[in-house]
Structure 1
């Protein structure tokens, strides 16, 4: 009875790692640079597995920086300071990419404050840049620069980015999901402390991670587990009525956690003006409606001998399995949006595969039990009264 519960404990331990916004960021301390460049401070940025190294010169307000981000040779990377506001608009950026001849190129540009799809061109920035260059090595771009920090202020709004789109041979556009829309922070070059840029980017990311964990554990683990308990435990007469209470406990707790995750998702959606993940949102609403119907169905469940019970069973099973299928689909859509480290997606795949393997084994095993019980009863009672406790050889379902 306890064996099927193990995946829940495993999933809580592994999936809760998503709550750490910087879990996908690589450590910066082991990184080295060409020409034996050394920097006094580094930080693993919370998005895109990027890192920033720098040496701040308080005497003249300049900083030597090295920004590194994983990327392919067909993509581009960018690092920027924004002297006027947080985020992309108005940022003074340095780009790195391979030009048409395959040579790593570095250009600088100011991202127009009134254009969300600015045309990139090589121009001077609003603050002085003493040097800039870029290189590509071991699957990552590195941008080197020495800059005057705007207004001689050690605390700066910083943006970083990576993409694969080009227009006229120059970087153009980037993904509008996952870390690409949260890659901004306010960095103090003196203390090295980073806080959310614009009053809450890290907080929103943290809530997105909570939203993902709640939905993965509730819709994606507890509900399938509850169905397995009902389908397979009720085969054993000694498990009655324990199987029903365990089934109800899994489904109700999964529903409560799922509704909490669903509500948080609606809140996050209302805060993301202009960004809507339509299919993820629609499936989430459908899931909430179907799951709510399932909960209320418990209040309307006819007795076993009621002539309408068969119709209730068909409804209950159809809606229940539909919820599971839609849940798993939407969880993977959520992974694509949140874009966590691959290990979390792989972990969930492993959990679902484990549950599927257990279900397949129990399906064969319980059918064997039912058939053996049926044959034994037929020998003892010559086939009278159905004898298997479930109306003949029919496998009990949820």
Structure 2
């Protein structure tokens, strides 16, 4: 049925837009001379004409039909799916990520759950798995059923208890009885069938996918949808929901990303721009210095908070490692702390050692900015947020870069202009500037 209805949906959308452009238009609905909007002077009120009402109800009917088709199409993806083996399942859950569906029957008296885990868009060289975790809500401790297509067209399916995050899905017995284990692979879709002996109530479920090297499943991705593929299912009511712990961890990851993106990725570059370009204006003395100090100090404090949340996330996610991101984060914190303490050792402007301190301060500062921006992009790759977040940050970085280039050109214009004025001045005792003034 779905394949017959689906081609009609674009045409219906086009027709609705056409009808809307004709009938939901102030000039066509509310015209006093075309009988589409009649004014009754006796009652001082306005009513739609029968013609307009007919068009309005036609449009409403079209929208209702389209809504019904959309809802029906979504439902057919799950509850109305027809298995090639003519098996039937009373309950079906469309899992929120990884293009997965869980069909099942549950007999409360015997505790038997007959299931079909269906994973679409599976290519050769990839494995899929569905698991129940009897003891917690995470990956470790889950009792998994794994399947992947073989080069000869058959499917290997087996059980695997997960004891660590670095598992390669070794075959083994589960903590509960499993029978009727089989799997099919057709049209890039794997379906796992099994019967499990489970207690009633709510169960914790996990589902995953990854690559296969040779005949060995490799660890799955630890970002994006692969860290969101956990839920609970009430076997009696069929109601599924997000796992509280997973949602809490995701919130912490988002907080970690926002704190570090704002501090290292935005405020630090802004502080450097303030210091380099505001100080060329004599009227900005000494306001530029206080603005620069406030911006960098705030960025450091927020960055330390973000760094601390990263450490906490690492402690709560044993076995999940992002070595490059972690190493850059530790380096950033260390360099920024050195930069902060170096302010207490800053010589006076006239001191002979001041130029060496300036070199140290500038080099470290620019290094922190580069590492910060790089690590923000590393973090975005790990979190895998919607595209608008990455695009927004790219837009901010590009805008700051363009601003810096424009200010750099303007700064050199001022410097060269002042140099020319000084060359024609009788005050030869003053030394002309040789370029943009350095950081303090």
Q: Give the structure-2-normalised TM-score.
A: 0.67
1:321 correspondence with 2:321: no
Question: Contact between 2:181 and 2:193, CA under 8 Å: does it hold in 1?
Answer: yes
Q: Residues 337 and 240 (structure 1 numbering): CA distance in 2 closer, same or farther, change over 3 Å?
A: same
* 3-state secondary structure, aligned to 1:117: coil
2:210 to 152, 159, 163: 163
Q: Residues 68 and 118 (structure 1 numbering): CA distance in 2 closer, same or farther, change over 3 Å?
A: closer
1:109 corresponds to = 159
What is the distance in 2 between the residues matched to 1:95 and 1:130? 10
Cα displacement string for residues 283-309 of structure 1 (whole angstroms, at most 9, x for unaligned residues): 322221221222233333333223332
Question: Contact between 2:116 and 2:194, CA under 8 Å: does it hold in 1?
Answer: yes
1:77 corresponds to = 128
Please give the residue correspondences for 1:267-286 in structure 2 after superposition, counting only pairs within 5 Å. Answer: 267-286=312-331
Cα deviation for residue 43 of structure 1 reads: 4.4
Please give the residue correspondences for 1:315-354 in structure 2 after superposition, counting only pairs within 5 Å. Answer: 315-354=360-399
1:98 correspondence with 2:143: no
What is the distance in 2 between the residues matched to 1:395 and 1:83? 65
Cα displacement string for residues 195-234 of structure 1 (whole angstroms, at most 9, x for unaligned residues): 24xxx33322321221122111111111011101111122
Tell me the matched-pair count: 353
Q: Residues 392 and 283 (structure 1 numbering): CA distance in 2 closer, same or farther, change over 3 Å?
A: same
1:42 to 91, 94, 104: 94
What is the distance in 1 between the residues matched to 2:131 and 2:342? 55
What is the distance in 2 between the residues matched to 1:186 and 1:374? 72
Q: Residues 279 and 312 (structure 1 numbering): CA distance in 2 closer, same or farther, change over 3 Å?
A: same
Cα deviation for residue 371 of structure 1 reads: 1.3
* 3-state secondary structure, aligned to 2:240: coil
1:188 corresponds to = 234
Question: Contact between 2:78 and 2:101, CA under 8 Å: does it hold in 1?
Answer: no
| Unmatched segments (≥5 aa) in structure 2 | 1-72, 83-90
Cα deviation for residue 265 of structure 1 reads: 1.6
2:30 corresponds to = none
Q: Give the structure-1-normalised TM-score.
A: 0.73
Cα deviation for residue 160 of structure 1 reads: 0.9
Q: Residues 71 and 363 (structure 1 numbering): CA distance in 2 closer, same or farther, change over 3 Å?
A: farther
What is the distance in 2 between the residues matched to 1:322 and 1:113? 41
Cα displacement string for residues 74-103 of structure 1 (whole angstroms, at most 9, x for unaligned residues): 3232222234655445644444533204x4
Please give the residue correspondences for 1:105-184 in structure 2 after superposition, counting only pairs within 5 Å. Answer: 105=155, 107-111=157-161, 116-120=167-171, 126-128=177-179, 133-137=184-188, 141=189, 143=191, 145=193, 147=195, 150-151=198-199, 153-168=200-215, 172-175=217-220, 177-179=222-224, 180=226, 183-184=229-230
| Unmatched segments (≥5 aa) in structure 1 | 1-28
Relative contact order higher in (CA < 8 Å, ≥ 6 apart):
1
Question: Contact between 1:107 and 1:122, CA under 8 Å: does it hold in 2?
Answer: no
Question: Contact between 2:228 and 2:246, CA under 8 Å: does it hold in 1?
Answer: yes
Cα displacement string for residues 162-201 of structure 1 (whole angstroms, at most 9, x for unaligned residues): 1112343xx51223632546643433353322224xxx33
Q: Residues 365 and 315 (structure 1 numbering): CA distance in 2 closer, same or farther, change over 3 Å?
A: same
